[in-house]
Amino acid sequence: MSDSSPSTDQQDFPLIIFTVGTAASGKSSWAEAMRARHPSLRICILERDMIRVELFEAEADKPFSWTDWNQAWENKVQWLWEQRVQELAKQCHALILADTHLDTGELRKKATWLRELGAREFTLQYFPALPLTDLLRRDQGRSHPVGGEALREHLKKIGAEEQYWAAIEGV
């Protein structure tokens, strides 16, 4: 292939970077900092929460709110996420999937699906659990805070970094 632009060809599929961490742990900020730090690379960032916000605001015709979020829309979020991954894979050198990825089974499924599309290079950025008080403070400063209950659930779910590496390497 003479064109140097990324494509979904198996050899040219972008590096996939999974973030793993609770809400308010710094995943999105880290992703944006990586893009800013490496302006010569085409680093794309995809966040399921941004898809949720777009979908909610289009469907509900009002500003996004977690308390008003309709769980029935999660299937559409998944479909939109898959479409965007495929679109961005054609444009990027690296694709940061900036979500919590706390469930190793779901992470494994995503890595398997991406491999089926042709992805071969995976890495992850792990964000260790922070004290709940720090997460609450950070969460309050976000445009769409998830709240203390969700943060406590995330802290219960987060595992050791090695578990997440095994999930993406073991497919």
pLDDT along the chain (171 residues), means of 10: 40 90 97 97 97 94 92 96 96 97 97 96 97 98 95 98 94 54
**Does the domain formed by 15-47+89-169 have CATH 3.40.50.300?**
yes
* Spatial separation of the C-alpha atoms in residues 169 and 171, rounded to whole Å: 6
Per-residue pLDDT, 12: 77
Q: Measured at the alpha carbon of residue 114, what is the angle toward residues 80 and 105, in degrees to the nearest 5? A: 90
Tell me the one-letter amino acid at 148: G
- On whether the CB atoms of residues 168 and 45 are closer than 8 A, the answer is no
Per-domain residue ranges of the chain = 15-47+89-169
- For the chain, the straight-line distance linking the first and the last C-alpha, in angstroms and rounded, comes to 28
Beta bridge partners of 45: 96
pTM of the model: 0.91
Query: Residue holding tokens 């679109």?
Result: 87
Q: What is the pLDDT of residue 170?
A: 72
Q: Which residue has the tokens 């979500």?
A: 99
Q: Do the beta carbons of residue 135 and residue 25 sit within 8 Å?
A: yes
Residues β-bridged to residue 18? 97, 124
